[in-house]
Each structure stands twice: as C-alpha cells, then as structure tokens.
Structure 1
Amino acid sequence: MIHKIYSNLPSFKNLELHTGLNILVSDKTPGSTDQQTRNRAGKTTVIKLIHFLLGGDCNNDSIFKHDKLIEYYFGMEFDLGDQRVCVERSGSDPNMIIIKKGDTSSWPIPARKENQKGNLFLSNTEWKVNLGNIIFSTGESKKRDKNTKYTPTFRSLISYFVRREYDNAFGTPYEQSKDQKRWDWQVALSFLLGIDWKISRKWQLVRDKEKALKELKKGIGEGLFDSIIGTVKNLRTDLAIAESSTKELKEQLKNFRVHKQYYKLEEEASTLTLQMNKLADQNVINNQLIKELDDSLSSEQPPPVDSVDKLYKEAGIVLPNNVSKRYEDLLKFHNTIIENRKTYIEQELEKAKENIEKNNENLKKLSERQSEVMNILQSHGALDQYYKLQEELTKKEANVESIKNRYNAAKQLESQTTLFEIERKQLLVSLTRDFQEQNEKLNKAILAFEKFSKSLYEEAGSLTIDESINGPNFEFRIQGEKSRGVNNMQIFCFDMVLTKLIHERKLGPGFVVHDSHLFDATEERQVAKALKVGLNLANELGIQYIVSFNTDDLNKFSPHLFDASKYVLPQKLTDAREDGGLFGIRF
C-alpha cells in the first residue's frame, strides 16, 4: 500500500493515500485536449512517479530529466514486506535510491551508507532485486547471465498492477506494453497465475535456437559459411580423404627408424656417386683411346720397294742400282720407326686396358658400398625428419578433427529443425501436465474473471487458458468485445483477477493503479460498476485501488450508480492555473 507521494519541489502537491479506493481527480477546462490536460494537470504523471520510484528507467527523455525537475528529489512512503519504508530518487542521479526509512538488514541486498551525506542507499539495480524478492519472491539476483535470461523480473510483473497508457498498456489484457515480447508475457502471467513459468522460458530458448538456425541456413544458402561449415556431401568426401592420408602417415611413422649418422651416410652416398661417375668417365675416355690405338696399329705399314720402281718405270725413268740401294736403306729405317711406334702403341693399349680393368674393380667396390649405404638410407631416417613427420601428423589429425566437427555440425544443422519440433512437442506435453496439476489455480482465475465480468455486464465473459505448440495462450471474451470500451473492461477484469490471485499467495504490491484512459469509450454504467468492483476487492483484500479521472468524466454517472465523491482525494489537480498541476509549474 502507498501512503504518501512527495517531493522537495516547493510547488509539488503531495498526495496522501489510504486503504481502499483512491480517486485522483483533475479538473479539465473547456477546450483543453486530453494531451494538454495530461501535461498540465499531472494525472498520468502520478503513474510515472510510481514507476520512477519503483525502479523504472530514467532515460534522457524522462520527465524527471527536465531542467525544471532534475535537481529535485521525489519520494514515496509505502508498505514493503512487513514494514513501512520511504524511498527517494532524483533525475540528477537516477541510479541512486535513497532509503529514508526502513530496516534493510534482512533484504537480499542491504542498503549501505553514502560517504558524503550519510544516507542509506542502493543502486537502482539492487533496488529492483530487493523489490522483486520482497514483493513477488522472484528469486532475482544482481547477476544477470544466461541462466537468468527469460526469467520473471520485478519490472515486468509490477507493470500489470500499474499499467502505463504511454506504453500502450491498454491494448490487450495479457500485455502490459505494446513492445512486450511473447516470452515476457507468457513467463510473467505463468508466474502470477502460479503455474510453471519455466516451461515458457524453455519455449523462448527454443525460439532463440530456431531463429539462430534460420539465420544460419539463410547464410549457408547465400554461401556465407561454406568455408566455415560446408555441406554434408562435400565434407563426407573431405573427411574420408583426410582420414586415409592421416592413417598412411601414422603407418609411416610407426615403421620409421632413426639412424644417428643419417646425414653422414647421405654425404657418403653423394661422394660415392661422384667417384663412380668419375671412374665411368675415365672408362669412356680409355675405351675411346683403345679404339684410336687399334686404328693406328692397322695403318702403320711401309710401302713396298717394287711399288716405287713401278712408279718410276711408268713415268719412263729407270732408277740406277745405287738409288735402289739407298731406297732400301731408307725403307729399312722407316720400318724400324714403325716397329718402335707399334711397340709404343701396344704399350699404351695395354695401359688403357689395365686402367679400365682397375676402374671396373673400383666401380664394383664403390657400387657395393653405394648399395649398402642406400639401403640404410631407405630403411632409416634422420631424427629431425622424424620430428617433421610427427608435426605433419599432428596437423593432419587436427585437420581431420576440424572436418569431423564441421561434418557433425552440418549433419546437426540439417536435422536440427526436426529436433526443435520434437522439443516443442515435449514442452507441450510438459505444459499439458502442468495445467492438469495446477487445474485448481487455473479454475480460480477462470471463475474470478467470470465473476468480475458478470459484475459489469449481464452476460458473463470468459477467460480461456490453453496449451499450444507455442506456449500458453490467454483468450478473453466479453459480449461486444470488438468495441474499445469492452476491450478495456477485459483488461480491468483481468487486472482484478491477477490482484486477487497474487494476494491469496501472500504476494503482490498491495495496490492496483489505473489511468483514466482505461475507462475511455466505456459506458458510464460500466465505469460505475468497475469502480464498485475495485472498491469491493480493495476492501476485501485490505489493499489499495488507485484510479485517476477527469472531473467531467466522473460526473457522467449519477450517485445512485456509484457515489465516487467519498473516495476522491482532497488534493485535486487542474489545468486551469499555472500552479494547478501536480508539479505546480508548467514546462
């Protein structure tokens, strides 16, 4: 229950509230628009103030950041748990919540002293954690991580009890804002009705995975992830080739033998090859020499004497005997030279043959050694070669693992849609089971809605809560529901249901606040009945129903329908004077 709303702004009109029905009235001058009345009088601002003091956001466009308000604090005295507390907050430092009254030692996060002024304070985040745990037992903590994602929060829950017209909270009964996500209203309403909200949370986690999968498939379809994931058919081929190559290298390493003098043997093998090539070259030269020497032996023959005589006779000349004698001596000398040359050639020929034979013997020895060395080199390896092979194996194994992971990811990707469908069906089974187990709570909500709607209309409305493949659904029906007024009364009835059920669980803020816009386009008779329902429920539960009205709207229904004057707060607002609004100033 809220006892007081105040400010140190001198012109601010402090509000004193009480148990039961509290009607804040604003006089609307003729010709004023609804927007002008809201801005000047401040009925809607009361709701902004309540949210501001209950941890609402204070962005740069917040009214509390306005130049004329930013330096002032605003406060609220209200019941929190089993004690009355008083808190203050200012637009100049919206992250600081000053605790002016109340024992915070038993709170989840106790307040601490401010260094400069000595005030007890909490950060706004800490304040919301305390409010969530004390008012709704949400189990909230200051830490927000993946485990606290999509869980009930104080700010989401309290907005069903203080609906904000400027957030379009009067669109549907199950949404307290036009921007509220499906998961948020499913989780929040499940929590408030006492059914398993964790099932709705799991549904959103599935939606997240489905969304990620959809984006991933879209990216794959556009070729954005081919190098990262690839397709199953291509990766299957790559994996088979990579595994085969790795297996071969493993076998090679298994049979690898290290020789300590591997590089010396490599050097020796190279030297042997050079030596053998040199000997082979020498044999080629010697064989060529032998051929040339053989040819020389064949050509070394002196011309016969009679051939010389014959030559001269044919020329008609007869040589004298002494000339023939001298020619024979010359021929004899020539033969001696030929014999000597022949002996020399034969010696050179023998020498060449001996060189070839000697070279062949050396070639044989060198070849045998070369074969021995090469066998060692082929059957062994150097230590650093072994390390290189090991390094190569590590790379290949890593590549196999990478391809395998991508292959499994690709397979999972192709089958994930089916898995999500299965997961949704499993959640549907869980939700159906929970509905069966919590049937009494659901029936309470259904019957309470019927009762409240019956109080407003001749024909009772209905609340349907059912299971779907997308989580719990809430449907509301009241005769003539297509009209705006009837739709707003659906919201009114549902708010009364939530207030009643949460109070029975000994939870809730102890108040419900409705802006006058909830009653726009609603017939006077239904407005009067709604105020009576709110009054009766507040008195029955010992809580507070706060509602704002323009004077002319409140006067539309006669006192015999509902005498609202008894519940009008003494502090009235008006847009007729500069100081007539809540702040007492215009800006």
Structure 2
Amino acid sequence: MRLIELTSTRTSFKTVKFNRTGLSLIVARHSKQAVKDIHSTYNGVGKSLLVELLHFCLGAGKNKGFEEHLKGWCFILTFEHAGMEYLVSRVVGEDKLAVNGREMKLSAYKDFLNTLGVFDLPASISALSFRALLSFFLRSGRKAYASCDGARSEWKPYYRVLYQSFLLGLDCHRVVKKHDAKKKLDERTSLAKKYKEDAELRDFYLGEKNADIELASLNEQIAKLRNDLSEFQVANDFSEREAQANNTRFLLVETRNEEAILGVRLRDIDLALELHPDVAPDRVRRLYDEANIVMPASVTKRFEEVEVFYSRLRENRTRRLEQERTVTLAKQSILQSRRIDLERELDSQLQFLDAHRALDEYVENSRFLSELTARQTKIQDYLALIEKYTNEAQMIRAEMGQATVETTVYLEGAKAHRDMLMETYRGFAREFYGNKAAGLIVKNNDKPDNQIRYDIEARIEYDQADGINDVRIFCFDLLLLFLRQSHSMEFLFHDSRLFAGMDWHQRLTLFRVADRVTREKGWQYIATVNEDQIDSVKVEAGTDFDRLFVQPRVLELTDEPDGSGKLLGVQVDMQYEKP
C-alpha cells in the first residue's frame, strides 16, 4: 500500500501529491513577513493535521475537532495496493463514505480495509486489524512518539506485544494463548475474591473459619427447625387463650394465698384450744395450806364464785374457738376445691398452648428458617465455587506452564529469525552511532502473573539521552517496514515531532538512511519537516542536500497571517488530537 494524493473539494485546500518512491517532504517554513519575527513558529500550519486527515480517510472514527470546525468538508485520498488504485472520499459529519464511487458505512469500510490484504490478518485473532497496525506506519499525536511499542498511547501491554509480534514475524497465536489463559485465571480469581467482601463469608475466604463445619451445623439447625414447623399448629385465638391462661394463673395464685392464710388461722385456733391460762382452785388452796394460812370463810366463798365465773368464761371461749374452727375448715374446703378446679383448668389451657402456637411465632420461625437456608445456600455456593476455581485454576496454571516450555522451544527453533531481527535493527542503528551497542531482543516472558508472552525490547545504548529515543523509534518503524512480515505496506510516515529532539547529525543520517532504503525497495518515506530542521544540516549535507531536502518536497506550508499558506488554505483554530 502506497499513498498517492490527498485533496479536498474545497479549493483553498493544499493538495498533497506524494512521490511514488523515495522521500516525500512536507516542509513548514516562515512566510516572508514573518522571517524576522522572533515570536513566529512552525506550529499550526497543518503538518500534524495532515496525519489526522490521512487517518480520517483510512477509517478513523469521528474527530471532535473536525466535527466542530470542518463539518461539510470533503477530503479525498487516493492510495494504491497490489497494482490497483482506490479513491476514498469522506465528508466530515456524515456516517457514510465512498470507495471508488461505492458508498458504504464506516464500519463496512473498516471491514473492507481488513480484507483488502494490506495485512495478512488471521481470522482467529480479532484484535488484529488494519486500523491498529497502520499506527506503526502512520503515528498520530505527540504521545505516539514516546516509545517504539506505543504507536497508540492507549494500548495496553498485551496489545503492544501482539501487534509487534505480528509485524516482527513472531508466532502471535502464543501471545493470544497466554493472554486468554491469564484472563481466564484472573476471572476465576475475581469470582473467588468477591467472597472476601461478603461479611459472612470473609472469614471462610481468609481461613479463619471452616466452611464445612459451619455448613454441617447449619444443616442440623435447618432440619430441626423444619421438623418443628411441620408439627406446628396455629391457633387463631392464641392470644385470647393465652390471656385466659394468664387470668387462671392469677386466680390460682390468689386462691392458694387465701388457702395458706386459712391454714395459718387453723393452727392458731388449735394452739389456743390447747392453752389454759387460768390457775386451778385446788392449786390455790394448796398454796395457802403450805403457807399455814387459814383462808377465811368469806374469801373461800368469794374464791368459789370466781372459780364458777372463770369456768363459764373458759367454756364460752372454747365454744367460740370450736365454732370459728368449724367455719374456717368449711372455707378451707371450698378453697381447696376451687384450687383443684383452677389447677385442672390451667393445666388444660397450658396443654393447648403447648400444642398450639401463635401465627406471629410461626411467621418468625419461618423467617428464621429462610435466613438459615439462604446462608446455607451461600456457603454451598462458596464451597462449590472454591472447588471449581481450584480445579480450573490448577488446570490453567498447568496449561500456562506447558505453554511457557513450548514457547522456549519455539524461540530456540526461531533463533535464525531472531538473529535476523537483531542484525537488521543493529544495521540501522549502526548508521547513526557506529559500534555503539544496539539491538532488538525477543525473550520468553515466563512469569505467570501477567498476560505478556514475549518481552520485546529495541535498545540503543544510552537510549534515554536526547534524540536517541527518537532514533530508536525511527529504526524500529523502518525495521517493520523493511521486514514486510505479513504485510505489504510500502510507506512510512513520520511527523516533525520525531526530528525535534535530534541533533543535526542524527537528523541528516535519518534522511540518508530513509532515502536509500526506500529508493532501493521502491517504497515511500513521507515526513513533515520544519524549515529550521532542514537548514541545520545544509552545510553538513553537502552535495546531498538538494537530493535529500529540495527535490523531495511535495508541499510547502507557511504561516501567512490570513491562513492562505496553511494546509486548509484558511485560518482555523481547532484541537484535533486527543489530549
């Protein structure tokens, strides 16, 4: 696939016709009015916008900046693949576009690009697509120039390795296999870990309680409660009967208290009947005789009268106590009878209450049974999941271990290919830095805690120094183009951002290498370049200057105040790159 032309139906647009082979330079320079303006820059003339427009015509999604500022603009890209030209026209703000006059939706266009054959995409790996792989040949945005593998900064490590593996000619199915296995293992782990957040099951997960013992206890409780509920008889008037039983119990207690009081009274009466507080007359006489005192006749007569009086009084007292005792015994008999009746009645009421229960109690027991059953189910699910997770996790880990061994064997067998990758990359790096250590390394990632199959690293010694990272990216991208592994891309496009941090030597070498390789292979190297970046190598380039920096110019963009020298031909301020 090579680029031929980008144009627009708007007459102000600066059409870009790319050279068929070798270098194609889009140069940003100052206008004559701005040459002496120290505040003038090369920014905003359309260099990076060109990249976004190419992506727009090659299936990118909607661009918010375009939608706001370029709605209705139609851009037309002509590209060639396998000897056939394709003309793509797309209007900003519309869902459809046209390929060689045939209208299609954007989703259908992406499918068309996937099946065009630019990349030999395996049907079994859906993550591989034209749009993703194109990014290594047409980097978009500032973040795309931060690292070799990050042609799109939002890519996760797995996708970076997958795309690199495909373009480097490595077995990318192994990448997918480890990714899917680790993802599956993580899913099993996350399912188990969710129980750690459950207050009831957290102790089981942490091993502080034994789930099997807890489940056995629950089973026992549930069985007993279910048996109780099966024998449960609900009395609709349970509350009224319970109140009657409470009243009977109160009357019984009251009766027993009265009966006890009568019992005490009977004992007092019996005691009173046994006591004789008066002194017998014979005893009085004996006392007088013993004292040798002769009792006068009048006293004797008076004593006899008193004796008769107290005798009558004693008889009356005894008769009264006997009568009172008889009455008390009668009352006691009545109370005993009443107590017996109340005891029988209370026994009957309690037997009913024992055999029957309130509806509220039945509902409460049923609710408690539901709670126990829910907890039982939760623990059963937990145990089943843990067993399933353990078995599946062991199988997955075994498969991952076997895949790691197989990958080691595969890389050993692919040593010649890996050596070729190493030497080709080293060859490009050597153009810049001579014998400085450099190379592309592919190793088996044998760690089971990640989704990465290969550790791929393109290095140049001291590659954190200014400009070296940019050279590293250039060598890596050129390597991917040069290898032509599972693709037929015939162009490589770099934005002026790549050259900004380079010194003059690195910059001049880059264009010499790009020119030589693309001319030899019949490919394209397209670049947007600032005028000062070219001027910095003019002396050192010598006789190569015109060939490298003048003849390949396909467009010059200037910072005319009215915007006429810019790519769009008009002044438009917009943010079209993702932040």
Same fold per TM (> 0.5)? yes
Cα distance in 1, alignment partners of residues 442 and 546 from structure 2: 33
Matched, 1:175 2:150: yes
Cα distance in 1, alignment partners of residues 99 and 363 from structure 2: 75
- The structural deviation recorded for 1:186 is 0.9
Amino acid corresponding to residue 195 of structure 1 in structure 2: C
Partner of 1:99: 97
Cα distance in 2, alignment partners of residues 53 and 443 from structure 1: 39
Of 454, 470, 474, the residue aligned with 1:472 is 454
Of residues 47-56 and 260-269 in structure 1, the stretch that sits farther from structure 2 once superposed is 260-269
Q: Deviations over 1:382-430 (max 9, x none)?
A: 5653443232122133345556777999999999999997786455346
Matched, 1:583 2:556: no
- The structural deviation recorded for 1:300 is 7.4
Cα distance in 1, alignment partners of residues 385 and 38 from structure 2: 58
Cα distance in 2, alignment partners of residues 315 and 33 from structure 1: 168
- Give the conservation status (yes or no) of the 8 Å contact 1:480–1:486: no
Cα distance in 2, alignment partners of residues 480 and 456 from structure 1: 13
Of residues 199-208 and 275-284 in structure 1, the stretch that sits farther from structure 2 once superposed is 199-208
Of 496, 506, 509, the residue aligned with 1:522 is 506
- Give the conservation status (yes or no) of the 8 Å contact 1:78–1:85: yes
Partner of 2:481: 496
Partner of 2:472: 487
Matched, 1:535 2:519: yes
Of 157, 177, 187, the residue aligned with 2:162 is 187
Cα distance in 2, alignment partners of residues 233 and 27 from structure 1: 64
Closer/same/farther in 2, CA of residues 129 and 319 from structure 1, 3 Å limit: farther
Cα distance in 1, alignment partners of residues 428 and 25 from structure 2: 23
- Give the conservation status (yes or no) of the 8 Å contact 1:450–1:462: yes
Amino acid corresponding to residue 176 of structure 2 in structure 1: K
Of residues 552-561 and 278-287 in structure 1, the stretch that sits farther from structure 2 once superposed is 552-561
- Give the conservation status (yes or no) of the 8 Å contact 2:87–2:100: yes
Cα distance in 2, alignment partners of residues 270 and 391 from structure 1: 28
Partner of 1:244: 217
Cα distance in 1, alignment partners of residues 342 and 355 from structure 2: 20
Partner of 1:51: 55
Matched, 1:342 2:342: no
- The structural deviation recorded for 1:13 is 0.8
Q: Deviations over 1:328-358 (max 9, x none)?
A: 4x97677556545534432432343354455
Closer/same/farther in 2, CA of residues 564 and 375 from structure 1, 3 Å limit: same
Closer/same/farther in 2, CA of residues 383 and 97 from structure 1, 3 Å limit: closer
Superposition map of 1:300-315 within 5 A:
none
Aligned residues: 531
Aligned to 2:77, what secondary structure does the other structure show? strand
Cα distance in 1, alignment partners of residues 343 and 420 from structure 2: 107
Q: Deviations over 1:525-555 (max 9, x none)?
A: 563242131233345xxxx543344564786
Closer/same/farther in 2, CA of residues 36 and 73 from structure 1, 3 Å limit: farther
Cα distance in 2, alignment partners of residues 34 and 530 from structure 1: 32
Cα distance in 2, alignment partners of residues 260 and 230 from structure 1: 39
Cα distance in 1, alignment partners of residues 461 and 283 from structure 2: 155
- The structural deviation recorded for 1:511 is 3.8
Aligned to 2:209, what secondary structure does the other structure show? helix
Cα distance in 2, alignment partners of residues 451 and 183 from structure 1: 25
Closer/same/farther in 2, CA of residues 335 and 308 from structure 1, 3 Å limit: same
Amino acid corresponding to residue 252 of structure 2 in structure 1: M
Q: Deviations over 1:10-66 (max 9, x none)?
A: 432112346434513426469799996642654443223223444557777x5x578
Partner of 1:202: 180
- Give the conservation status (yes or no) of the 8 Å contact 1:44–1:515: yes
- The structural deviation recorded for 1:83 is 7.0
Aligned to 2:54, what secondary structure does the other structure show? helix
- The structural deviation recorded for 1:89 is 4.3
Matched, 1:163 2:139: yes
Superposition map of 1:325-404 within 5 A:
328=305, 339=315, 342-357=318-333, 359-360=335-336, 363=339, 367=343, 370=346, 374=350, 377-378=353-354, 381=357, 384-402=360-378
Cα distance in 2, alignment partners of residues 337 and 242 from structure 1: 86
Cα distance in 2, alignment partners of residues 157 and 394 from structure 1: 57
Closer/same/farther in 2, CA of residues 315 and 366 from structure 1, 3 Å limit: same
Closer/same/farther in 2, CA of residues 357 and 415 from structure 1, 3 Å limit: same
Cα distance in 2, alignment partners of residues 128 and 173 from structure 1: 25
Closer/same/farther in 2, CA of residues 466 and 242 from structure 1, 3 Å limit: closer
Aligned to 1:4, what secondary structure does the other structure show? strand
Amino acid corresponding to residue 466 of structure 1 in structure 2: K
Of 265, 271, 296, the residue aligned with 1:289 is 265
- Give the conservation status (yes or no) of the 8 Å contact 2:77–2:89: yes
The structure whose RCO (Cα within 8 Å, separation 6+) is larger is: 2
Partner of 1:86: 88
Superposition map of 1:25-44 within 5 A:
25-26=26-27, 28=29, 38-39=42-43, 41-44=45-48
Q: Which runs of 5+ in 2 are unaligned?
A: 447-451, 574-579
Cα distance in 2, alignment partners of residues 406 and 34 from structure 1: 71
Amino acid corresponding to residue 12 of structure 1 in structure 2: F
Aligned to 2:43, what secondary structure does the other structure show? helix
Matched, 1:11 2:12: yes
Amino acid corresponding to residue 73 of structure 1 in structure 2: W
Closer/same/farther in 2, CA of residues 303 and 164 from structure 1, 3 Å limit: closer
Partner of 2:449: none
Q: Deviations over 1:65-95 (max 9, x none)?
A: 78xx5456251323598772423344xx4xx
Closer/same/farther in 2, CA of residues 488 and 386 from structure 1, 3 Å limit: closer
- Give the conservation status (yes or no) of the 8 Å contact 2:29–2:42: no
Partner of 1:76: 76
Aligned to 2:567, what secondary structure does the other structure show? coil
Cα distance in 1, alignment partners of residues 207 and 79 from structure 2: 67
Closer/same/farther in 2, CA of residues 530 and 252 from structure 1, 3 Å limit: closer
Closer/same/farther in 2, CA of residues 166 and 268 from structure 1, 3 Å limit: closer
Amino acid corresponding to residue 87 of structure 1 in structure 2: S
Cα distance in 2, alignment partners of residues 35 and 423 from structure 1: 62
Q: Which runs of 5+ in 1 are unaligned?
A: 112-121, 141-146
- The structural deviation recorded for 1:185 is 0.8
Cα distance in 1, alignment partners of residues 565 and 271 from structure 2: 141
Cα distance in 2, alignment partners of residues 516 and 340 from structure 1: 142
Cα distance in 1, alignment partners of residues 416 and 509 from structure 2: 28
Aligned to 2:78, what secondary structure does the other structure show? strand
Percent identical: 17
Closer/same/farther in 2, CA of residues 382 and 573 from structure 1, 3 Å limit: closer
Of 274, 278, 298, the residue aligned with 2:250 is 274
- The structural deviation recorded for 1:130 is 5.9
Closer/same/farther in 2, CA of residues 454 and 136 from structure 1, 3 Å limit: closer
- Give the conservation status (yes or no) of the 8 Å contact 1:239–1:400: no
Cα distance in 2, alignment partners of residues 65 and 35 from structure 1: 30
Cα distance in 2, alignment partners of residues 381 and 210 from structure 1: 48
- The structural deviation recorded for 1:161 is 1.2
Partner of 1:258: 232
Closer/same/farther in 2, CA of residues 307 and 226 from structure 1, 3 Å limit: closer
Aligned to 2:90, what secondary structure does the other structure show? strand
Aligned to 2:232, what secondary structure does the other structure show? coil
Aligned to 1:2, what secondary structure does the other structure show? strand
- The structural deviation recorded for 1:160 is 0.4
Aligned to 2:133, what secondary structure does the other structure show? helix
Closer/same/farther in 2, CA of residues 474 and 306 from structure 1, 3 Å limit: closer
Aligned to 1:583, what secondary structure does the other structure show? coil
Amino acid corresponding to residue 50 of structure 2 in structure 1: V
Q: Deviations over 1:277-313 (max 9, x none)?
A: 23322321221221232244345788777899999xx
